[in-house]
């Protein structure tokens, strides 16, 4: 086999070249396996599961075929480039999974530290906790009250994983459980940190907590002790540019007693491993997210894996019933994190007769026929165009954004943002007539013609933009949305947040902005954590590997009042039936009866820089 004939990308070729320098006599199969692993990482997988690919032709246009599983594994094990768990080698083969050494270390260390944290139970004043929970969650009439149970577990454990769909009250739960924690401390100060994967999510989390704590039935001292500022995870850890190293780690831990991470489903394996490593062993970690949403852009589906195997055994159920007064269902967990994970099920946003809520349930259940049937019922909050055309879509978006463009002409940022958040187009992909780039270009051209703006002009009243990179000096972050409006100083791009404007909007000269794109349409990925009154979800015309159940679910649940879907029936069915599963071994490491895993082996100082390549 001649590797130069394989259709490898730049990263795959760079990895192959690096491995060749380490072992000039490396077998072509080993190098091809490394290239496949690199491509798998680029697609979000943590490892390359040999059993899934054995005997296949990984590049259909090339005659090369992978050997049977047993032979493939044996030939990998014979290579000096491949080691087992704890070995110092660029590639690690463990339980039929091929890893880059760094990712195997991330996964193993994360599992070990999560299990240690879950097993270390803090001292709790159960009488005080019971009183706190009764008072703080008195507004809930559901039985069982999962918000109350989640708060109880977060106080009783150093690790809490709270998953729930839109409107299930994750923020309400966390602000009240933090109040219960402060009441446990009997006046002693607690260092509480709030963080999220993106600047937009961090700002939204801080604002939600500021709003929620005003109505808490607690002393003013407790309210004052609750945090009202949040940071991105990268800023919290002290990221160092393009380096994988961060300032805070086990030898320089974060000065925190409690850390709350919102939108944890967006956190990839590497970042989560670094976060746990930097958190003091005595600190509590509370992860909030939605296990059914899209995973991180980078490798790993950590939050979804943590939620596998959840349940309360008989002892945990009895303890919770004694403390909360709630009837707790018993379900033997299959994960050693089982009772640290709580799923919030009652949606306060979608009523029982909500079409959006029912659609979300059918999508998550993988019920394609039920999904199509529901969309044909003409519910008031659901609409479906089953025969879309690009021209019709452009006309519909023109009508949808008309109120926003009219509001933008007033120059009032508050009115402009309210109108812009009232309707949003979401796409599954970036390119093509059905993607973000094509829709933004076509709609922008129409808006410019109507406003008599020269086509070469980049800036005009009503241009919405999305920031693509963090700029800490300006306080603008990847995913932030701005709107171009007239001001007394000419055109300015306004962003939500505390700032110079009396209404709390921050104006910037267009030339000062970091890298950005027009944002009439945005990808479903970029919309995570956002809410809009109405959403128009555009699915591609042709089959796409991006279409999945989690993408469909995430897109429709961004809508608070109505969702409109433009997509062929075949694409909707494919989205519902395609479950985007990422290859990883974290859930197996956390299982009640895990595969025997040896203790970590300290790596020598020499060669660390070389290993960092992988």
pLDDT of 452-505, one tens digit each? 887 788 888 889 998 888 777 787 877 888 999 988 888 899 988 654 444 678
First to last CA, the chain: 24
Q: Please report the pLDDT score of residue 114 as a whole number.
A: 92
Other Cβ atoms closer than 10 A to 514: 16
Whole-structure pTM value? 0.84
**SS3 labels along 498-563:** CCCCCCCEEEECHHHCCCEEECCEEEHHHHCCCCEEEEEEECCCCCCCCCCHHHHHHHHCCEEEEE
Positive or negative, the Cα torsion across 44, 87, 252, 303?
Answer: positive
pLDDT at 499: 45
pLDDT given for residue 108 in this prediction: 92
- CB crowding 550-570: b at 16 or more within 10 Å, else e: bbbbbbbbbbbebbbbbbbee
**What is the DSSP pairing of strand 341-344 with strand 159-164?**
parallel
pLDDT at 352: 61
Contacts of 364 (CB under 8 A, 6+ apart): 292, 549, 553
What is the per-residue pLDDT for 326?
85
Taking the CA atoms of 173, 174, 177 and 179 in sequence, report the sign of the dihedral they define: negative
Residues in the chain, pLDDT under 70: 1-3, 187, 240-243, 348-353, 497-503, 594-614
210: CB partners within 8 A, 6+ apart: 228
CA distance 499 to 494: 10
SS3 29: helix
pLDDT of 603: 33
pLDDT of residue 316: 87
Per DSSP bridges, beta strands 97-100 and 48-49 are antiparallel
What pLDDT, on a 0 to 100 scale, did the predictor assign at position 16?
A: 84
List, for residues 160-213, the tens digit of each pLDDT value.
Answer: 999 988 778 888 888 889 989 988 887 678 889 999 887 778 877 888 888 888
pLDDT for res 351: 60
Look at residue 273 in the predicted model and tell me its pLDDT: 92
- What integer pLDDT is reported at residue 348 of this predicted model? 66
Beta strand pairing call for 464-467 and 516-518 = antiparallel
Instruction: Name, in order, each residue with C-beta under 8 angstroms of 557's C-beta and a sequence gap of 6 or more.
Output: 165, 166, 356, 360
Tokens encoding 22: 């380490």
């Amino acid at each position: 086999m001649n590797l130069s004939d394989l259709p490898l990308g730049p990263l795959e070729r760079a990895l192959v070249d690096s491995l060749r320098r380490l072992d000039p006599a490396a077998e072509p199969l080993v190098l091809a396996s490394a290239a496949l692993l690199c491509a798998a990482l680029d697609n979000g997988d943590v490892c390359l599961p040999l059993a899934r690919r054995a005997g296949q032709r990984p590049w259909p246009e090339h005659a090369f075929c992978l050997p049977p599983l047993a032979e493939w594994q044996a030939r990998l094990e014979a290579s000096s480039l491949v080691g087992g768990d704890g070995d110092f080698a660029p590639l690690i083969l463990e339980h039929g999974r091929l890893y880059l050494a760094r990712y195997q270390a991330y996964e193993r260390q994360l599992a070990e530290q999560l299990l240690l944290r879950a097993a270390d139970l803090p001292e709790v004043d159960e009488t005080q906790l019971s009183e706190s929970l009764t008072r703080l969650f008195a507004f809930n009439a559901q039985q069982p009250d999962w918000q109350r149970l989640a708060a109880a577990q977060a106080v009783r454990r150093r690790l809490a994983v709270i998953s729930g769909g839109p409107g299930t009250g994750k923020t309400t739960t966390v602000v009240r459980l933090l109040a219960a924690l402060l009441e446990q401390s009997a006046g002693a100060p607690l260092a509480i940190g709030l963080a999220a994967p993106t600047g937009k999510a961090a700002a939204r989390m801080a604002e939600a907590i500021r709003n929620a704590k005003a109505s808490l039935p607690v002393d003013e001292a407790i309210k004052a002790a609750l945090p009202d500022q949040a940071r991105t995870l990268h800023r919290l850890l002290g990221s160092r540019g393009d380096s994988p190293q961060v300032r805070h780690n086990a030898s320089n831990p974060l000065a925190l007693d409690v850390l709350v991470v919102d939108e944890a489903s967006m956190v990839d394996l590497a970042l989560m491993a670094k976060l746990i490593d930097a958190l003091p062993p005595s600190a509590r970690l509370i992860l909030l997210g939605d296990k059914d949403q899209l995973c991180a852009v980078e490798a790993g589906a950590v939050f979804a894996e943590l939620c596998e195997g959840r349940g309360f055994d008989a002892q945990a159920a009895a303890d919770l019933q004694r403390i909360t007064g709630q009837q707790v269902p018993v379900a033997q967990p299959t994960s050693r994190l089982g009772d640290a994970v709580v799923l919030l099920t009652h949606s306060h946003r979608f009523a029982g007769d909500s079409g959006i809520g029912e659609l979300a349930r059918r999508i998550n259940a993988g019920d394609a026929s039920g999904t199509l049937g529901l969309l044909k019922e003409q519910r008031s909050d659901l609409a479906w165009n089953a025969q879309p055309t690009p021209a019709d879509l452009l006309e519909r978006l023109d009508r949808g954004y008309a109120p926003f463009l009219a509001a933008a002409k007033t120059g009032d940022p508050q009115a402009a943002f309210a109108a812009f958040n009232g309707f949003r187009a979401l796409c599954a992909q970036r390119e093509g007539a059905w993607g973000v780039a094509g829709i933004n270009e076509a709609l922008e051209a129409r808006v410019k013609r109507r406003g008599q703006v020269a086509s070469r002009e980049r800036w005009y009243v009503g241009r919405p933009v999305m920031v693509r990179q963090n700029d800490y000096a300006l306080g603008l972050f990847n995913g932030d949305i701005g709107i171009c409006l007239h001001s007394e100083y000419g055109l300015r791009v306004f962003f939500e947040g505390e700032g110079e404007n009396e209404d709390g909007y921050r104006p910037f000269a267009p030339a000062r902005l970091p890298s950005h794109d027009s944002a009439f349409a945005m990808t479903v990925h970029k919309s995570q954590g956002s809410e809009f009154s109405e959403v128009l979800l555009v699915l591609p015309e042709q089959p796409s590997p991006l279409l999945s159940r989690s993408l469909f679910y995430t897109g429709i649940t961004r809508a608070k009042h109505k969702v409109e879907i433009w997509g062929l029936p075949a694409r909707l069915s494919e989205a519902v039936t395609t479950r985007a599963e990422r290859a990883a071994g974290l859930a197996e490491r956390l299982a009640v009866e895990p595969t025997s895993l040896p203790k970590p082996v300290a790596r020598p100082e020499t060669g660390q820089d070389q290993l960092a390549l992988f």
